[in-house]
């Protein structure tokens, strides 16, 4: 079985982890994966061209996350017309486009990491938000949740926002400009970890300090939490998501029933538990569909296909 795995770019460590998740699933369950990644990060034109390439290559299934909420719709329509099944991860797609979707709630992740930060600040402080690309669904949802959580804390002020484009160097440059304009900043909410690392670079260069949190639990951020340079990160586990989407593709190809939707729980990585995540991606544990079914109390007495139908996985 040949599975075409689509990630958004080669620059974000979370997508390197996602590709590893697909490879680990293929090795575990017996399939072949081929990666299709735009060389221009998050480029819809390139991703659309890669879709047509994968179809020409004879892909049996697509494990897919779109780089843009609408600008790859025509390419996705081509997949659907071909009859090749799609298995989504990270970003939701319109209802009916995917056989299965594995992801996590961006809003819940952002709410929890923001609440963790505001609790540390005792509900008071001047905070900067660093966003991802303007059109990124994950960034839009995370930033909206950051702002909603801030509004519930009367003493928290969002004093600036800057765009880090989900990249380290753009985040460093954007936040350095914010530092020049704001002599006092208590904390930073970064919509992903590689931008949080860029924020730390800018703080170090300016000789300034602020409490920083991010999202993704990439190894660099986990190490920064352990060293006390970051307060915390939320584990947006793209490797696990892509692993499960790939497992669903393989099982579906064998004629097995698979869940329509899988939502991973939120985990906050902080100074008290960071060692659980302090390992390279290839050494991090992965959960299979059967593991998820065993962990769901409501599904104990149900066969796997019934659990899937009831949305228990």
Identify which of 132, 141, 212, 209 has the alpha carbon closest to the alpha carbon of residue 168: 132
CB crowding 142-159: b at 16 or more within 10 Å, else e: bbebbeebbeebeebeeb
Same fold, 2-105+237-309 and 106-234: yes
Distance, in Å, from the CA atom of 5 to the CA atom of 8, rounded to the nearest integer, reads 10
pTM over 0.85: yes
CATH fold of 106-234 reads: Rossmann fold (3.40.50)
Residue position matching structure tokens 């905070």: 127
| pLDDT, average across residues 23-35 | 98
Indicate the domain borders of the chain. 2-105+237-309, 106-234
The CATH architecture assigned to 2-105+237-309 reads 3-Layer(aba) Sandwich (3.40)
Distance, in Å, from the CA atom of 5 to the CA atom of 142, rounded to the nearest integer, reads 25
Return the number of other C-beta atoms located less than 10 Å from residue 261's C-beta.
Answer: 14
Q: How many residues does the chain have?
A: 313
As a whole number, the mean pLDDT across the chain is 92
Q: What is the CA radius of gyration of the chain?
A: 20
Backbone angles phi, psi at 239, to 5 degrees: -65, -45
Instruction: Read off the pLDDT of residues 213-251 as tens digits, 9 standing for 90 and up.
Output: 999 999 999 999 999 999 999 999 999 999 999 999 999
Pick the range with the lowest mean pLDDT from 69-83, 177-191, 299-313: 299-313
| pLDDT score of 202 | 98
| pLDDT score of 296 | 61
Instruction: Read off the pLDDT of residues 43-87 as tens digits, 9 standing for 90 and up.
Output: 999 999 999 999 999 999 999 999 998 999 999 999 999 999 999
Distance, in Å, from the CA atom of 89 to the CA atom of 106, rounded to the nearest integer, reads 12
Continuous segment of H or E residues that includes residue 94: none
| pLDDT, average across residues 12-20 | 95
């Amino acid at each position: 079985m040949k599975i075409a795995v689509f990630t958004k770019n080669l620059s974000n460590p979370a997508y390197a982890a996602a590709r590893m998740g697909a490879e680990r699933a293929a090795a575990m369950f017996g399939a072949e994966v081929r990666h299709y990644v735009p060389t221009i990060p998050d480029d819809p034109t390139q991703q659309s061209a890669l879709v047509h390439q994968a179809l020409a290559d004879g892909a049996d299934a697509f494990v897919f996350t779109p780089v843009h909420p609408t600008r790859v719709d025509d390419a996705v329509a081509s997949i659907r017309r071909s009859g090749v099944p799609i298995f989504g991860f990270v970003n939701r797609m319109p209802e009916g486009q995917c056989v299965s979707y594995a992801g996590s709630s961006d809003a819940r992740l952002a709410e929890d990491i923001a609440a963790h930060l505001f609790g540390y600040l005792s509900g008071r402080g001047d905070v900067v938000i660093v966003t991802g690309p303007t059109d990124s669904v994950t960034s839009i949802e995370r930033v909206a949740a950051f702002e909603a959580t801030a509004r519930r804390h009367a003493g928290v002020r969002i004093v600036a926002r800057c765009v880090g484009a989900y990249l380290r160097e753009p985040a460093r440059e954007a936040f350095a400009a914010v530092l020049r304009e704001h002599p006092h900043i208590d904390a930073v909410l970064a919509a992903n970890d590689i931008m949080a690392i860029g924020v730390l670079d800018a703080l170090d260069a300016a000789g300034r300090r602020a409490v920083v949190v991010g999202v993704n639990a990439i190894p660099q951020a986990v190490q920064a939490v352990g060293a006390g340079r970051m307060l915390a990160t939320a584990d947006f586990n793209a490797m696990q998501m892509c692993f499960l989407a790939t497992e669903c593709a393989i099982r579906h190809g064998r004629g097995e029933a698979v869940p329509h939707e899988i939502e991973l729980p939120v985990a906050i990585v902080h100074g008290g538990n960071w060692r659980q995540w302090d390992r390279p991606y290839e050494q991090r544990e992965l959960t299979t569909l059967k593991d998820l079914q065993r962990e769901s109390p409501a599904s104990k007495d149900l066969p796997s296909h019934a659990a899937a139908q009831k949305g228990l996985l």
